[in-house]
Structure 1
Amino acid sequence: MERVDLMPPSDSVGERADAYAAAPLLNCLLREVAEPLPDAGQGKPRVYRLPGGGRLLRVRGARRPAAPEVYAAGRWHRVGHTELVKLVAEELRAHTGLSNGDLPAEMIDSRDVVAALLTARARATAPDDPYLRSEQSLITGHPYHPAPKARGGGPVTAWLPYAPEAYARFPLVLLGVRADQVAEEGDTSGLDALAAPAVVPPGYRLLPAHPWQLDLAARDLAPAFADGRLVRLRETDFAVWPTAAIRTVYEPVRDLFLKFSLDVRITNDIRRLWAHDLRKLRRTDSAATAAFAAMDGPAAWLGDRGYRTARFAFEELAVVVRDGLRGALPPGATPLLAAGLVEGFDGSPLAATADPGAWWRAYLRAVVPPALTAFADHGVVLEAHLQNTLVAVDADGTPVQALYRDAEGVKLLADVERAAGWERLVYCLVVNHLIEVAAALAERHPGFDPWPAARRELARHPLLEVAELLAAPTLPGKTNLLLRWTGADGADARYLPLPNPLA
């Protein structure tokens, strides 16, 4: 398989940012809109027709398209990122009959964010812990989103101190909420341990806040600060590390994850902890916890134990308490973010393995059975995509365990049609996860075919849906570009058929 180096060392930060930002945007355009022309052969650029205007577009590379060119006046012309955004917007207007002034601005913002991240990373030191390095490695981010790194268009100074991709770490702000104004559910005792009891005034409860969110919500919270329902206490005397999700942070000493509201659009959604999701959190988390407790094998669920917030700012100040890592891991195992394995980071075992077949079989044994068992035996549809999956490896870098997380993304078959739940699982586990890991592995080992082993692993599970999956000519591919262009709800997944490498 051709491997294309998107960022030669001599390139400037601007050129590298263009290349990083163009790859996922091109992936979306090529998957959702463009029409492929006959393959020109190994190592040759792939050519597509853009149906809106009939223009020809060619790119290099497969997993991460690069060096886009448009054919005009008898020759190929290189297209920079700004021109690519304009081209995509023109094509989508013709394709859908709709205009959208916001998404092109997000695409530009995403590219500018990447440039700022690259500059910041050059001056920063990556964390020593390989787990934290994997969480903070995602410069490309979602490989099939038109603006995966957009940060809401705000100034760099507002978001850079909290950016995982810039190796950020920072203290939390500790607030006191008047006790009669506290709303909580589940086990939130981990929050009370974030400061000594003497820090909290009598009649108040401790509530940590993400400093970025506190800035974003300052105007709405001003009345509560003024009348004493809310008091600012101090900052924590320890730092937390933002994970790939940005609004979720990890505190290694206490082995605690905290998930905050963040009133910023990240990929498809405003990342606020919405009231309807919080109120069903205990139900979905309990179902996932029970499913994993009943499973054989080492797979683990990082439970969302509970949430605490203020009644007068229920969504703005909500924080979810999530299980840490240490109690779930086998002795000597190191957890790594699956998305980090695909993106690449210093010390990644995917990049280091000399036996891709054995590594891939171990990876499949870790991540596939728990997701299928949760669905088949417990009616739990995990959001088993790259960013919600941790893979623990042994001292040799071999996968030995999968850890899944994020009850907010879990669906229960009691609430959705089985076919819809299965489609979602196939998209998350196969399209958004296994295909990406397989492609990253095959890119490093030309000639390696990952799909016979994947078929064998899936076929071990006696599900009618699995048999149908292995025979199906297509898989469901989520249309993030069209979803965003047409203004559909971020949770309203829409799919188009993709060739099925399992068939």
Structure 2
Amino acid sequence: MLTRLWRALAFEPLPWVARRERRPDSLTLLLAGGGRLEGPPADPYATGDLVTGLRLDGRTHRRAAGLVEALGVPHGAAFAAELDDSTASLALSRAGRRPGPGEEPRTGWEWEQTVVDGHPYHPGCRSRPGFSVAEQLAYAPEHRPLVELGLVPVPARECLVTGDWPEHLRDGDRILVPVHPWQAEHVLKGEEVREGALAAHPLMALRTLAPAAGGPHVKTALSTRLTSSVRDISEYSVETAAVVSAFAHALTERLDGRLHITRTLGAATAHSPDLAAVLREAPEAYAGPGERVVPVAALAGTEPARSAAWQAAFARLAVSVCLEVLDLGVALEAHGQNLLLVMGPDGEPRRLVYRDLADIRISPARLARHGLAVPPLSGRLVTDDETVLRRKLFGSLAAGALAATAGSSAALGEALAAALDGLAPTADSELLRSRPLPVKALTLMRLSPGVPGDQWAELPNPLAGG
């Protein structure tokens, strides 16, 4: 946690950091109140380097929460509590780490459950307020439980349903909405819940699960803050689900089989973000014989990802596809959880699978330039703001999925260079090559509870020399 926190302090636009003095062997933060915070050089893309202590005005701090408390910054007490929670939760996650050396997951959900550490750069990577230790063991994917989802029957006239809601989740004139057991106990206290109706394996997102009997993945509402966000399901997401899914699926026809987007099969809400669910096609639907579909977040440290040649091949595939989709008019949030890689029996990258369309961005102007029909949508998914579009993709793909897989600035630079060399230059690719890389300022956001929306930092671009 201290390592992740130091990265944030080193690069995010925190208002109480007056100046940063970078030297080859150290980094010093001069604070607005006159204090000095000293530590080792910070690589914004490193995942293996550990920070064991930081010196604030001569005193060494080894606990992330303790350092935040000592800094005395606005909203720091609440953030320090989150960091303590995240630290304890990460220790619990690592205690049951599997598989062991030489063991490889056999199924998609097993691959998901190998991601023990959560977000590779967020100090709150395992923050799960509202979850007891017993509930983490019972519901968190890294502990490999089988979760019994409940069903809440709601009169169909009181629901918004889009797509094809299946018959096995209907009961006469009522819609059966799958609910997470944590949600049933802590939030839906007055609702009729048919408990233990659907056994499922929790995936990396915790609230999305793969039914043990197979079939579509189930995304449930979970009204608590995990890492940074409250995981409910908005009515807007349900209302737009079918249109966005059909549009995105049609768009992939232009990608020559290099990208598949899992379809949203059905979505339902009882006009409440706390009681809603989405049924989504399983990524394994796009695997051929002998192929594996692996979330990119699970690739770091695996045998293939240790090879520079493999990383270059993966980066070429991911960057070329995502830049082409952006040029067509869609910015994917291609971080390591949403982006999956189809690998052949030899482990080589073959195709991409993207899931969860709830937070993409669609540009009518870019679509029109290619003669593509604009889907009948309005609201937050639709924008022609070039900064918003590029931040969405570059922040998730380059500074997220590729960076965490590479594990350092040097390795990310090599992967990006291999990916961009040979691509026809576009305004997007040239900015990706030459400008600082945008990334969500996750710590600043946690310390700014009154500021709505995302806030951003700019990280040194290893291709631009800074």
TM-score (norm 2): 0.84
Q: Does 1:251 align with 2:221?
A: no
Q: In structure 2, what is the Cα distance between the partners aligned to 1:72 and 1:382?
A: 43
Residue 376 (structure 1) aligns with: 327
* CA 448–350 in structure 1, closer or farther in 2 if over 3 Å, else same: farther
CA apart distance, 1:442: 6.7
Residue 443 (structure 2) aligns with: 481
Task: Tell me which protein shows more helix as a share of its residues.
Answer: 1
- AA aligned to 2:181 is P
- Is the 1:109–1:153 Cα contact (8 Å) retained in structure 2? no
Q: In structure 1, what is the Cα distance between the partners aligned to 2:94 and 2:289?
A: 36
Residue 419 (structure 2) aligns with: 454
Residue 240 (structure 2) aligns with: 280
Residue 371 of structure 1 aligns to a residue in which SS? helix
Q: Does 1:49 align with 2:29?
A: yes
Q: Does 1:316 align with 2:270?
A: no
How do residues 103-122 of structure 1 correspond to structure 2 at under 5 angstroms?
103-121=79-97
- Deviation per residue, 1:109-153 (Å, 9 max, x gap): 1111122223454899x9942533331123322233231211114
* CA 360–310 in structure 1, closer or farther in 2 if over 3 Å, else same: same
Residue 18 (structure 1) aligns with: none
Residue 10 (structure 1) aligns with: none
Q: Which residue, 340, 346, 350 being the options, matches 2:304?
A: 350
- Aligned positions, number: 435
* CA 297–432 in structure 1, closer or farther in 2 if over 3 Å, else same: same
- Is the 1:388–1:405 Cα contact (8 Å) retained in structure 2? yes
Q: In structure 1, what is the Cα distance between the partners aligned to 2:325 and 2:99?
A: 44
Q: In structure 1, what is the Cα distance between the partners aligned to 2:153 and 2:85?
A: 35
Residue 151 (structure 2) aligns with: 174
- AA aligned to 2:23 is P
Q: In structure 1, what is the Cα distance between the partners aligned to 2:61 and 2:396?
A: 32
Residue 185 of structure 1 aligns to a residue in which SS? strand
TM-score (norm 1): 0.78
Residue 404 (structure 2) aligns with: 436
- Deviation per residue, 1:376-408 (Å, 9 max, x gap): 12x111111111111111112111111111111
CA apart distance, 1:441: 10
Q: Which residue, 60, 66, 71 being the options, matches 2:51?
A: 66
Q: In structure 2, what is the Cα distance between the partners aligned to 1:132 and 1:461?
A: 37
Residue 387 of structure 1 aligns to a residue in which SS? coil
Q: In structure 2, what is the Cα distance between the partners aligned to 1:488 and 1:501?
A: 33
- Is the 2:199–2:212 Cα contact (8 Å) retained in structure 1? no
Residue 385 (structure 1) aligns with: 335
Residue 239 of structure 1 aligns to a residue in which SS? strand
- AA aligned to 1:137 is T
Cα-Cα RMSD: 3.0
* CA 72–333 in structure 1, closer or farther in 2 if over 3 Å, else same: same
How do residues 82-161 of structure 1 correspond to structure 2 at under 5 angstroms?
84-91=64-71, 93=73, 98-121=74-97, 128-129=105-106, 131-161=108-138
- Is the 1:255–1:325 Cα contact (8 Å) retained in structure 2? no
- AA aligned to 1:185 is T
* CA 461–280 in structure 1, closer or farther in 2 if over 3 Å, else same: farther
- AA aligned to 2:275 is L
Residue 263 of structure 1 aligns to a residue in which SS? strand
Q: In structure 1, what is the Cα distance between the partners aligned to 2:348 and 2:287?
A: 14
Q: In structure 2, what is the Cα distance between the partners aligned to 1:181 and 1:498?
A: 47
Query: Which segments of 5 or more consecutive residues in structure 1 lack a partner in the other structure?
Result: 1-20, 41-45, 195-199, 226-231
How do residues 293-372 of structure 1 correspond to structure 2 at under 5 angstroms?
293-311=253-271, 314-342=272-300, 344=301, 348-351=302-305, 356-372=307-323
- AA aligned to 1:58 is G
* CA 281–413 in structure 1, closer or farther in 2 if over 3 Å, else same: same
Q: Which residue, 403, 407, 429 being the options, matches 2:353?
A: 403
Residue 459 (structure 2) aligns with: 498
* CA 123–449 in structure 1, closer or farther in 2 if over 3 Å, else same: closer
- AA aligned to 1:107 is L
Query: Which segments of 5 or more consecutive residues in structure 2 lack a partner in the other structure?
Result: 365-381
- AA aligned to 1:80 is R
Residue 260 (structure 1) aligns with: 220
- Is the 2:151–2:178 Cα contact (8 Å) retained in structure 1? yes
- Is the 1:151–1:265 Cα contact (8 Å) retained in structure 2? yes
- Is the 2:235–2:269 Cα contact (8 Å) retained in structure 1? no
Identity %: 26
CA apart distance, 1:285: 2.4
* CA 179–56 in structure 1, closer or farther in 2 if over 3 Å, else same: closer
- Is the 2:292–2:342 Cα contact (8 Å) retained in structure 1? yes
* CA 122–328 in structure 1, closer or farther in 2 if over 3 Å, else same: closer
* CA 71–266 in structure 1, closer or farther in 2 if over 3 Å, else same: closer
